C-alpha cells in the first residue's frame, strides 16, 4: 500500500497560548492549558490519534514558551484499526517546545482569552432582557468561548482590542520556532520461510525528530501573510507490502471464542524493513488576523528515503484551516475546535497520485505542532 507523503507544515500550536493562557506578568509561572485530542486520516488508509497537554510559560516582554507533552497511536490500515486495537498499530510518546514572539505592544492585552472574557462581560450587560441579541451566555462556563459566542457589540470590541494590542499582525505571532521529538514502538507480524511458512512477531522501535519555523509578513487590515518551513527525521520499521494467507493452531482463547481448532489470517510475507526518511517542506499563505477564524495556504513538500534504498517523493498541498470557535459567522454547532482539509498531489517513480488528508484538531489555533 502506498505511503502518503502527508507533511504537516502547520509549525506548532503556539498560538494556543494567546487564546487560553491568562494575562500574567513576564515572570508568570507555568500554566497548563486545555488538553488537546487530535484525529488524522488520509484517503490511503493512514491514520493517527494523538493527545497532548500544552504548558505555557510567559517569557520576557512579548515572548512565550510552550511545552507540549504528547502521546500518539498510528496505523497504516485505516483509522478504525486504532479504535479496535488491531494489529500493526504503533505507540509513541514525546514532546515539542515552541518559542514565540507575539509582537504585542501592551503586555496586559496580549492574551486573546482575556480579551474575549472582557467582551463576554460587555455582552451580558448589553443583552440583558433583549430578545433579539445573539449571544451564548453558557459558552464561558463550558470553556468554549470564541468570537462566535459574542454579541455584535462584544465582537466589535474584541476585534478593536486585538488591534490595539497587536497593531501589526492582529492575533498572529510575528515569528515562532518549534522543536519536537517522539519515541515509540510498533508491533509487527509476518511469515518467514519458503517450503514451510512460520508465523513471526516482534516489537520494533521508532523515532521522530523535527524542527519548524513560521514568520508573519505583509500585515493587512483583515489578514496577514504567513511563511513556514519544516524538516523531520523519521526512523521506523515498515511492514512488507506482499501478504500471504496463513492458517495455524488457535490459542485456547481463540478456540473458546470461535469454536475452531485453527485460525486463518492474511499476514505480511517477509520481515519488516527498517526505513529512515527525511521530510521537508515550505508553506505560504494568509490567515485571519482579526479573529484567527481561518487560514489558507499552498505547500510544497518532499520525502527522501535514505535507508535501505534511496527513494524521493514530492508533491503539493493546499491546506484549508477553519477554527469553529471563531468562524464561520453564525455557526452554532457543538464542535469548537480546528478542522484541516488538505488536498494533495504527490509524485514518485511509480507515477502521480491524489490524496486527501482530513484532520480534527481539538485546539483554538491555526498553528499545528511540528510533529503532527
What value does the mean pLDDT take over residues 343-363? 86
Q: pLDDT higher for 116 or 294? A: 294
| Residue 1 reports pLDDT greater than 50 | no
Backbone angles phi, psi at 327, to 5 degrees: -175, 165
The per-residue pLDDT for 252 is 59
Give the whole-number percent of the chain exceeding pLDDT 70.
66
The per-residue pLDDT for 126 is 74
The span from the CA of 276 to the CA of 235, in Å, is 4
Per the structure block, which three cell numbers stand in for 22?
491568562
| Residue 212 reports pLDDT greater than 50 | yes
pLDDT digit string, tens, across residues 163-179 = 666 666 666 888 899 99
Q: Is 103 left (phi over 0), alpha (psi -120 to 50) or beta?
A: left
What fold is seen in the domain 16-110+166-361? Porin (2.40.160)
Instruction: Return the closest-CA partner of residue 172 out of 323, 291, 24.
Output: 291
Q: pLDDT higher for 344 or 221? A: 344
pLDDT digit string, tens, across residues 226-245 = 999 999 999 887 777 777 77
The per-residue pLDDT for 102 is 77
- Cα-Cα-Cα-Cα torsion 167, 225, 60, 57, nearest 10 degrees, comes to 120
Note the helical H segments in 105-249.
112-126, 139-142, 152-165
Q: Angle at Cα 189 formed by Cα 186 and Cα 191, nearest 5°? A: 150
Q: pLDDT higher for 274 or 82? A: 274
Q: Which residues neighbour 253 within 8 Å (Cβ) at sequence distance 6 or greater?
A: none
| Residue 345 reports pLDDT greater than 70 | yes
Q: Where are the domains of the chain?
A: 16-110+166-361
Amino acid at each position: 500500500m502506498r505511503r502518503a507523503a502527508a507533511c504537516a507544515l502547520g509549525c506548532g500550536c503556539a498560538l494556543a497560548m494567546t487564546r487560553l493562557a491568562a494575562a500574567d506578568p513576564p515572570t508568570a509561572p507555568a500554566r497548563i492549558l486545555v488538553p488537546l485530542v487530535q484525529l488524522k486520516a488520509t484517503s490511503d488508509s493512514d491514520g493517527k490519534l494523538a493527545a497532548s497537554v500544552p504548558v505555557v510559560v510567559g517569557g520576557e516582554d512579548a515572548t512565550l514558551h510552550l511545552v507540549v507533552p504528547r502521546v500518539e497511536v498510528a496505523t497504516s490500515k485505516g483509522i478504525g484499526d486504532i479504535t479496535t486495537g488491531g494489529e500493526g498499530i504503533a505507540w509513541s510518546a514525546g514532546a515539542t517546545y515552541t518559542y514565540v514572539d507575539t509582537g504585542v505592544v501592551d503586555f496586559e492585552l496580549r492574551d486573546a482569552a482575556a480579551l474575549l472574557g472582557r467582551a463576554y462581560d460587555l455582552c451580558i450587560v448589553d443583552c440583558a432582557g433583549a430578545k433579539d441579541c445573539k449571544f451564548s451566555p453558557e459558552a464561558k462556563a463550558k470553556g468554549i468561548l470564541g468570537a462566535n459566542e459574542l454579541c455584535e457589540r462584544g465582537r466589535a470590541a474584541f476585534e478593536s482590542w486585538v488591534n490595539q494590542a497587536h497593531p501589526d499582525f492582529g492575533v498572529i505571532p510575528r515569528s515562532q520556532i518549534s522543536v519536537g521529538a517522539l519515541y515509540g514502538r510498533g508491533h509487527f507480524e509476518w511469515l518467514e520461510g519458503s517450503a514451510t511458512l512460520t508465523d513471526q512477531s516482534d516489537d520494533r522501535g521508532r523515532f521522530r525528530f523535527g524542527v519548524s519555523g513560521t514568520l508573519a509578513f505583509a500585515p493587512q487590515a483583515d489578514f496577514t501573510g504567513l511563511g513556514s518551513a519544516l524538516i523531520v527525521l523519521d526512523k521506523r520499521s515498515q511492514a512488507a507490502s506482499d501478504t500471504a494467507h496463513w492458517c495455524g493452531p488457535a490459542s485456547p482463547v481463540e478456540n473458546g471464542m470461535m469454536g475452531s481448532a485453527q485460525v486463518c489470517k492474511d499476514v505480511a510475507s517477509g520481515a519488516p524493513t527498517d526505513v529512515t526518511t527525511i521530510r521537508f517542506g515550505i508553506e505560504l499563505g494568509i490567515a485571519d488576523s482579526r479573529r484567527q477564524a481561518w487560514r489558507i495556504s499552498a505547500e510544497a513538500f518532499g520525502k527522501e528515503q535514505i535507508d535501505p534504498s534511496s527513494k524521493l517523493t514530492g508533491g503539493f498541498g493546499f491546506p484549508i484551516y477553519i477554527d469553529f470557535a471563531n468562524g464561520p459567522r453564525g455557526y452554532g454547532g457543538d464542535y469548537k475546535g480546528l478542522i484541516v482539509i488538505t488536498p494533495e498531489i504527490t509524485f514518485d517513480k511509480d507515477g502521480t497520485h491524489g490524496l486527501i488528508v482530513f484532520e480534527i484538531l481539538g485546539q483554538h489555533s491555526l498553528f499545528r505542532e511540528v510533529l503532527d
